[in-house]
Structure 1
Amino acid sequence: MTRKTKALAGTLSVSLAAGGFLLGRMTQTDHAQAQTETAPTAAVTTPSGRALPSFATLAAHASPSVVYIKVTAVTKSSQEGQEFGGPPSGPFGNSPFPFRMPPPGGGPRGDFRRQGSGSGFIIRNDGIVITNNHVVEDAKEILVILNDKREFTAKVLGRDPKTDLAVLKIDGKGELPVATLGDSESLQVGDWVMAIGNPFGLSNTVTAGIVSAKGRSIGAGPYDNFIQTDASINPGNSGGPLFNERGEVVGINSAIFSQGGGNIGIGFAIPINLAKKLVPELEAHGSVTRGWLGVAIQQVTPDLAKSLGLEEARGALVADVTSGSPAAKGGVQRGDVIVSFNSKKVAESSSLPSLVAETPVGDTVQVEVLRNGKNTTLEVKVAKLAEETASNEREESETEKSKWGLALRDLQPEEREQAGVKADEGVLIAGIDPESPAAEANLRAGDVVLEINRVPVGSVADLKKEMAKVEGDKPLLLLLRRADGNLYASLAAK
């Protein structure tokens, strides 16, 4: 099976020749054949009898506000030198600057000028432009080209890597075409949408499709909430607008899933409602201040819900609470399931980070949790989000088999220190039977078991004692310490 890779829908070719792109030959229809094909054809219609929509009027109205962004960066080469057009290396496996060119007089050990491009759109007549952060984050020079061929040098007012948004400013003389911003919440799956951008440097390219899904998480960050569309999006479309049928911007094209870097009908756009919240702060301060709760969370799966005694799989399961954090001070505990934050329901764990981030720093909010089958409401004062810290590492060793498919042993003192656990905490999972319940539960060699069914364990003997208490097919609820933090897992016997 071919492994799918993710490619940024941003940036670019320097030119068709530099990028090595080939255009297919355009052929004329045979004259004799053309003369025989004179009968008019019926319009294509939908099952309801309506003709399929034309986007001609919409494209003519929306295109002027879309801009072509050319960026230039200068980087130092290594002592060994760099190859031009090397493999892509950006966050989704596609560098914003795939083509490197040495300046005049430069050698393989000198500076390299890197050129790339993307898209954007004007949102105010005073020259405010929205695009993707990954289009401009490394740029030393930014040139914005309008649909009427006017060119402006742009400066970055603010960038937010966590949501991949950037705000630019151009000083334009005369009237500037401005896009109308819509409401991304009003979008429905199946709605028609239109994308305009500059794929592969081909300016003012219009494509159309439908909304394939909403609220997609693609692993780009904690605030993933993408609109998925099958409108054709390719490298160079990044930062360009996604329009609804009324000509309003409802999304900012940002990423694609692709096997070879081109469009396969799976594109992703940032909801415009998110941009409308962040643009004023980016414009005023250059960055975004976010709220912080101080918990590590995970999704409540059906198996975990059963282990936790929940009627349904909902909410955000608290796998860990940072010492001294707002959550810790407010009484949030490991094993709580957060079902409401600031009077807003938390159905999926992925929705909580955005709710917390949007909360003004210093506000005190109510957090509703399920704890031991009962609802508890806590008050938490939200703090300012700082940079994330690295998590612990662990290693594995010899094994002792258990009927659950686990190879277990006690931790050595240096392993406890490495894993960040106390002297009386934790049992090491040293191996996993690949055809066991443990493997099906996605347990891994190197995990440290901290609790079983909410009972702390500090030795293999403790762990076996708790396992022996399990009756019938009731699953075990394990609290694990893994390299990227604490998490819960449900382990059921075959």
Structure 2
Amino acid sequence: MDNDTTIPTPEPTDVEPGSVTDAPTVASPAPQQAPYTAPAVAPVPVKPRSPMAVVVAVAIVIALLFGGAAGIGGAFLGSKLFRTSQQTVRVVNGDTEESVAAAAAAALPSVVNIDITGTVSDDESQLPTTHPDVPVAGNGSGVAFRETEDGGTYILTNDHVAAEAETLVVTDSTGERHDATLVGTDAETDIAVLKVDAKLPTIATGDSETLVVGQVVVAIGSPFGLQHSVTSGVISAIHRSLPDSTGSSTKYPLVDVIQTDAAINPGNSGGALVDRSGALIGIPSAIYSNSGANDGIGFAIPVKAVLRVAEALIETGSVEHPFLGISGQSVTPAFAKTEKLPVNEGAYVAETTKGTEAEKAGLRKGDIIVKLDSTKIRSMDDLILAVRRKTVGDTVVLSLYRDGKLIEVDMKVGVKPANL
């Protein structure tokens, strides 16, 4: 090399732990805020798994998407924040960037930030160890979806964001702040509805029944308190069921959810997952992660299920969930061999709940359900999903093995008791 030739040394860049680098800037009429610094949080104690639980290397982080300090109804798994590199957008066709921008422009005015204050105490949820009734604060996201009769607005969010809150303050896309009240909440589906007196732009709703794997989607929310942030990706899978046996931090399984690789992080909970037109197709609720931050596997509750629950909460304050009244486990080849079962897959009935439709229909221990109406049942996950898609009062036909013989049993779909 020529001695007169020098190579310039790149100037060092200061990056604080937990900061976001190379992220796209989203234009918003809201005033700029000082950089958000998330508080340090303690590791979460791991609960012993039951013998039937599946050992996995990563956890389903349900309540994690609630940003801020430890969380009201949630916790941040891990003792530090993780910086996420810029996401690469898959170009499905030449107008991907334009469609993402159009979707964001259409949906952003309806997405809000939710500031929450309240108290937490040590209980059965996987929370960092704290003194009982310690005041905490955090943030989540919400979506304005319907006007109230008195000129206000109903807002969708997650149960784990709002259920334990003592105060709820909504910041809209213009930067205006509004006190919010909790209309109702449903822990099983992780949906809550808030109300503000102001009239906010409401989002268009799409059809979550027509989604296809690979289509472009956009997530909008307040990750780490960064309000009205936009990320994009694709639908990675549909009709995904992730029961608590895989390590969920909620007592309810995630059933029939949308999987996406759009970046979803703490604070995105309750925000919007929209299609290319900006229509709402899901509410982000969980991430599958070994770090507590985005690993490219996020889950959203389909808008069809969201609206069903939301309308019930607005009209009656509660939700009726379809229920058969059995408990059991999935049949696997190993289990079938041990128990000398006639099939290698299905839903094995361990017991029926007293007074339920399952007991009335004569279901009993040892029955192996392999079909509900025309839907094949290969596992308990399949059975949960099939029942969730029914309506209370429906009559269904179960195909099941009993004493080695395939039989059919007619039964009604009941209402899940409030204490279960």
| TM-score, scaled relative to structure 1 | 0.61
DSSP-derived class of the 1:172 partner: coil
Shift of 1:61: 1.2
- Contact 1:290–1:358 (CA under 8 A) maintained in structure 2: no
The one-letter code sitting in structure 2 at the alignment partner of 1:317 is: Y
Which stretches in structure 1 are left out of the alignment for 5+ residues?
25-43, 79-88, 101-107, 390-494
Distance 1:342 1:157, change over 3 A: farther
- Contact 1:9–1:253 (CA under 8 A) maintained in structure 2: no
CA–CA distance in structure 2, aligned partners of residues 118 and 381 of structure 1: 39
2:304 — aligned with what?
A: 273
1:145 — aligned with what?
A: 171
Higher mean Cα deviation, 181-190 or 354-363? 354-363
1:291 — aligned with what?
A: 322
2:145 — aligned with what?
A: 123
Deviations for 1:342-384, whole angstroms, at most 9, x for unmatched residues? 5544344213234435545455433222334543222224433
- Contact 2:103–2:275 (CA under 8 A) maintained in structure 1: no
Distance 1:216 1:191, change over 3 A: farther
Pair member with larger Rg: 1
The one-letter code sitting in structure 1 at the alignment partner of 2:111 is: V
2:220 — aligned with what?
A: 196
The one-letter code sitting in structure 1 at the alignment partner of 2:140 is: G
Which stretches in structure 2 are left out of the alignment for 5+ residues?
1-55, 70-78
CA–CA distance in structure 1, aligned partners of residues 323 and 102 of structure 2: 45
Distance 1:209 1:337, change over 3 A: same
Deviations for 1:377-420, whole angstroms, at most 9, x for unmatched residues? 2222443322567xxxxxxxxxxxxxxxxxxxxxxxxxxxxxxx
2:264 equivalent to 1:210? no
1:11 — aligned with what?
A: 66
The one-letter code sitting in structure 2 at the alignment partner of 1:211 is: I
Matches for 1:102-113 after TM superposition, within 5 Å: 112-113=134-135
1:39 — aligned with what?
A: none
DSSP-derived class of the 1:225 partner: strand
Distance 1:218 1:372, change over 3 A: closer
Shift of 1:209: 1.0
Distance 1:191 1:75, change over 3 A: closer
CA–CA distance in structure 2, aligned partners of residues 217 and 207 of structure 1: 24
DSSP-derived class of the 2:67 partner: coil
Shift of 1:304: 4.5
Shift of 1:119: 0.2
Distance 1:315 1:132, change over 3 A: same
Shift of 1:288: 1.3
Shift of 1:70: 0.7
2:162 — aligned with what?
A: 136
1:36 — aligned with what?
A: none
Shift of 1:208: 0.7
Deviations for 1:55-78, whole angstroms, at most 9, x for unmatched residues? 1122111111101011111468x9
DSSP-derived class of the 1:181 partner: coil
2:30 — aligned with what?
A: none
Matches for 1:411-422 after TM superposition, within 5 Å: none
Distance 1:264 1:279, change over 3 A: same
2:119 equivalent to 1:64? no
CA–CA distance in structure 2, aligned partners of residues 263 and 229 of structure 1: 11
CA–CA distance in structure 2, aligned partners of residues 3 and 250 of structure 1: 30
Shift of 1:296: 1.2
1:181 — aligned with what?
A: 205
CA–CA distance in structure 1, aligned partners of residues 372 and 90 of structure 2: 47
1:309 — aligned with what?
A: 342
Higher-RCO chain (CA-CA 8 Å, sequence separation at least 6): 2
The one-letter code sitting in structure 2 at the alignment partner of 1:217 is: L
CA–CA distance in structure 1, aligned partners of residues 211 and 345 of structure 2: 24
- Contact 1:45–1:51 (CA under 8 A) maintained in structure 2: no
Matches for 1:39-78 after TM superposition, within 5 Å: 50=94, 52-54=96-98, 55-74=100-119
Distance 1:303 1:68, change over 3 A: same
Distance 1:181 1:315, change over 3 A: farther
Shift of 1:231: 0.9
Deviations for 1:212-265, whole angstroms, at most 9, x for unmatched residues? 222131524245222221111111000011111222211111111233322121
Higher mean Cα deviation, 164-173 or 314-323? 314-323
Matches for 1:387-398 after TM superposition, within 5 Å: 387=418
Distance 1:375 1:167, change over 3 A: same
Choose which of 177, 186, 209 in structure 2 pairs with 1:160: 186
- Contact 2:217–2:233 (CA under 8 A) maintained in structure 1: yes
- Contact 1:290–1:359 (CA under 8 A) maintained in structure 2: no
2:402 equivalent to 1:371? yes
1:329 — aligned with what?
A: 360
| TM-score, scaled relative to structure 2 | 0.70
CA–CA distance in structure 2, aligned partners of residues 336 and 274 of structure 1: 30
- Contact 2:286–2:298 (CA under 8 A) maintained in structure 1: yes
Choose which of 332, 339, 342 in structure 1 pairs with 2:370: 339
- Contact 1:222–1:353 (CA under 8 A) maintained in structure 2: no
CA–CA distance in structure 2, aligned partners of residues 74 and 291 of structure 1: 32
The one-letter code sitting in structure 1 at the alignment partner of 2:341 is: L
Shift of 1:3: 5.0
CA–CA distance in structure 2, aligned partners of residues 323 and 74 of structure 1: 37
DSSP-derived class of the 1:154 partner: strand
CA–CA distance in structure 2, aligned partners of residues 166 and 9 of structure 1: 16
Distance 1:190 1:45, change over 3 A: closer
Identity of aligned residues (%): 38
- Contact 1:317–1:338 (CA under 8 A) maintained in structure 2: yes
CA–CA distance in structure 2, aligned partners of residues 115 and 301 of structure 1: 44
- Contact 1:228–1:269 (CA under 8 A) maintained in structure 2: yes
The one-letter code sitting in structure 1 at the alignment partner of 2:307 is: K
- Contact 1:155–1:169 (CA under 8 A) maintained in structure 2: yes
* Aligned-pair Cα RMSD in Å: 3.4
- Contact 2:65–2:287 (CA under 8 A) maintained in structure 1: no
DSSP-derived class of the 2:146 partner: coil
